[in-house]
Structure formats: structure tokens, C-alpha cells
């Protein structure tokens, strides 16, 4: 049984990832920490409770995480996910008390309690993970794996021409996470923009009368509206569900092992994920850098079919 700690800015595709991951054989969702990004961290935490209630996970603790990035003002992606992060279908208020610790404290406590047992699935800005690294410098040795939805290594960004949203919302945090010596799998726009939920799948979700299907259909209205305004087609990218699915079944993708740095300074390129793809070692004397496993291609048909099977049940 793999223990998963979720770290999310629970917006629409984060919610879809939770719906897909809940009660999956061999997976235990141990806790969730919220973070700013698609919504304010407190709103994202309430959204998590709402989604958990829908899938019988009301017992899973939810801790509120960072309300702001490490070194820049907070900015919320309301135009993508709606003012409440769930396209108008959020609970509006917390459904019960949150954990009495921050998301970073919760994360550190859980991994210390069971060294090597926990995998982190991070589908929002990486502020909580950076704070947890600060609280527990040995964190990389205590965690089994970190799967991150974020970055655009071989393709353009989505929030700027260079940067993907989760990294852009806290570049300093992402840089700290990519510099740490833990096994990181990066599921970026390189693959998530091809994890496309199209007309045929949307029709199946609309026709499904069960609670997960109905909720998914409701929240997808705002999200697909955003994609339509941007790309002129009906559908959406399954960013966060793709990361959850690659966590469970790494065989859905091809990967490359690259050192990845985050641009912190460029006026046009802040938040860009730059992989060293040269294929030969750094010059002698250059600082060594951990290598990250970057998803470079997915089996779209298998991934989307698996998403639909996991969602509609
Ligand atoms: C990422 O940004 C957020 O808006 C989504 O939830 C996803 O995690 C995609 O760039
Ligand atoms: Ca997200």
C-alpha cells in the first residue's frame, strides 16, 4: 500500500485528480496540504474537504498551507478555475475544522513517522514543499518519491510564453525542490497538454448520473469554457489527473533524466524550467545538480481511457 500525501491548490483539475485517485487499490491518501494558486489556500482546503466528502474520504486530514509564495506577491488563477477554485461549485466555507498544523508541518510529521513510506503528489505551486525542506533538511532521505505537476521543459509555458503556472506562482520554491536530492518525477505541459479530454469524453461525463460524474460535469463547465476561449475547441487538458495517473502507473509515459533549473531572474523568462539536455557532463568544477525524471511523452489513448474508467464509477 503506497501512502500518498497530496499537496494541492484544489482547483478544477486538482479535484478531478482526487476523484480519480480516491479508493484506488494499493493507494492510501494519508493527508492533504493546501496551497495558494488556483484559489487562496484556505479556500483550496475547504474545496479539498468537499471533494473528499464526495468520495468517502472525510476522515483524511486537511491542513492549510502557504497563502503566498516565498518571494513574490500571491496571484490567484480565478479566470481558469473560477473565483472559488471550483467553477462556482465550491462549498463556500470549511465543512469542519482543518488540521491544527500547517501543510508543511503535517508533511514533515508524516514522513518522519514512516521513513521511506510516503510519496508526495504536488499539483500546485511548490511553496509547502520548500517550507518543509527548510523545517526538515533530511526530508529528501525520508520520502519515497515526489511527483510534481509542473513545468514546461520542451514546450512553451501556459501562464507566460516561458513558464507553466505552478512554477510561475512560486519559482523560488520550485528551484529549492528541484535542487534537493530526492527522486522527483516532473509531469509538465510536455505531456499534460496532450492528455486532452475531448468532446467524446465530455459527452460520456454529461450522460453519467452518478455523484462523481455529476460533480465532474458541473466543475468542468468553467474549465472547458476557459480552454474554449483560449484554444477555440471544446475540451481541456488533464494536467493534475495525468500526474496522479503517472504516479500510479509510470508505464503510461516515456521519460528523460535531466537536471532542471528554474529561471529566477529573467524579465521574460522568470519561472521557466530549463533542462540541461546537452547530454554530456558539466565542465569540471561546476556545481553538481540532482537529475529529475521528466515525462516527455504519454500514451494519450490509454491515459484518457484510464481516466474515464477511474472517474465514472
Ligand atoms: C497547473 O496549473 C493549475 O491551474 C492547474 O491546476 C495545474 O496544476 C497547470 O499549469
Ligand atoms: Ca493544480
C-alpha to C-alpha distance for 16 and 24, rounded to whole angstroms: 14
CA 243 to ligand 1: nearest atom? 8
How far is the centre of ligand 2, averaged over its atoms, from the C-alpha of 37 (Å)?
Answer: 7
Mutate to test the pocket of ligand 1, among 165, 194, 220, 236 (most ligand atoms within 8 A of CB): 165
Ligand nearest to the CA of 192: 1
CA 189 to ligand 1: nearest atom? 10
Does the pLDDT at position 78 exceed 90?
no
111 φ, ψ (degrees, to nearest 5): -75, -30
Q: How confident is the model at residue 196 (pLDDT cuts 50, 70, 90)?
A: very high
Contact criterion met (CB below 8 Å) for 123 and 165: no
Does the pLDDT at position 304 exceed 90?
yes
Mutate to test the pocket of ligand 1, among 10, 43, 69, 123 (most ligand atoms within 8 A of CB): 123
How far is the centre of ligand 2, averaged over its atoms, from the C-alpha of 278 (Å)?
Answer: 30
Tell me if 47 CB under 6 Å of ligand 1: no
CA 77 to ligand 1: nearest atom? 4
DSSP symbol at 73: -
Whether ipTM exceeds 0.90: yes
pTM of the model: 0.97
Q: How confident is the model at residue 7 (pLDDT cuts 50, 70, 90)?
A: very high
Contact criterion met (CB below 8 Å) for 196 and 299: no
Q: How confident is the model at residue 280 (pLDDT cuts 50, 70, 90)?
A: confident
pLDDT value of residue 45 = 98
- Stretch 113-136: mean pLDDT: 98
Catalytic residues: 239
Scanning the structure block, which residue is given the C-alpha cell 455523484? 211
Q: CB count, 10 Å around CB of 47?
A: 33
Amino acid at each position: 500500500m503506497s501512502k500518498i500525501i497530496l499537496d494541492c491548490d484544489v482547483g478544477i483539475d486538482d479535484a478531478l485528480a482526487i476523484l480519480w485517485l480516491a479508493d484506488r487499490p494499493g493507494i492510501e491518501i494519508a493527508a492533504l496540504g493546501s496551497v495558494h494558486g488556483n484559489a487562496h489556500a484556505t479556500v483550496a482546503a475547504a474545496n479539498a474537504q468537499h471533494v473528499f466528502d464526495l468520495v468517502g474520504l472525510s476522515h483524511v486530514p486537511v491542513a492549510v498551507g502557504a497563502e503566498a509564495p516565498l518571494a513574490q506577491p500571491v496571484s490567484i488563477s480565478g479566470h481558469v478555475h473560477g473565483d472559488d477554485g471550483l467553477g462556482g461549485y465550491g462549498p463556500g466555507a470549511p465543512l469542519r475544522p482543518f488540521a491544527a498544523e500547517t501543510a508543511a508541518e503535517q508533511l514533515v510529521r508524516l514522513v518522519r513517522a514512516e521513513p521511506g513510506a510516503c510519496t508526495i503528489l504536488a499539483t500546485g505551486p511548490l511553496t509547502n514543499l520548500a517550507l518543509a525542506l527548510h523545517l526538515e533538511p533530511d526530508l529528501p532521505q525520508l520520502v519515497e518519491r515526489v511527483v510534481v505537476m509542473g513545468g514546461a521543459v520542451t514546450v512553451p509555458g501556459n501562464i507566460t510564453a516561458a513558464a507553466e503556472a505552478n512554477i510561475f506562482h512560486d519559482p523560488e520554491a520550485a528551484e529549492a525542490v528541484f535542487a534537493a536530492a530526492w527522486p522527483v518525477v516532473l509531469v509538465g505541459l510536455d505531456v499534460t497538454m496532450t492528455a486532452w479530454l475531448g468532446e467524446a469524453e465530455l459527452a460520456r461525463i454529461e450522460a453519467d448520473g452518478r455523484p462523481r460524474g455529476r460533480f465532474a460535469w458541473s466543475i468542468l463547465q468553467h474549465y472547458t469554457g476557459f480552454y474554449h476561449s483560449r484554444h477555440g475547441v471544446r475540451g481541456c487538458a488533464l494536467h493534475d489527473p495525468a500526474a496522479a495517473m503517472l504516479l500510479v502507473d509510470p508505464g503510461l509515459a516515456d521519460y528523460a533524466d535531466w537536471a532542471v533549473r528554474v529561471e529566477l531572474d529573467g524579465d521574460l523568462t522568470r519561472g521557466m524550467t530549463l533542462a540541461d539536455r546537452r547530454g554530456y557532463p558539466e565542465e569540471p568544477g561546476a556545481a553538481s545538480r540532482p537529475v529529475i525524471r521528466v515525462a516527455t511523452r504519454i500514451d494519450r489513448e490509454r491515459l484518457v481511457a484510464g481516466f474515464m474508467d477511474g472517474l465514472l464509477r
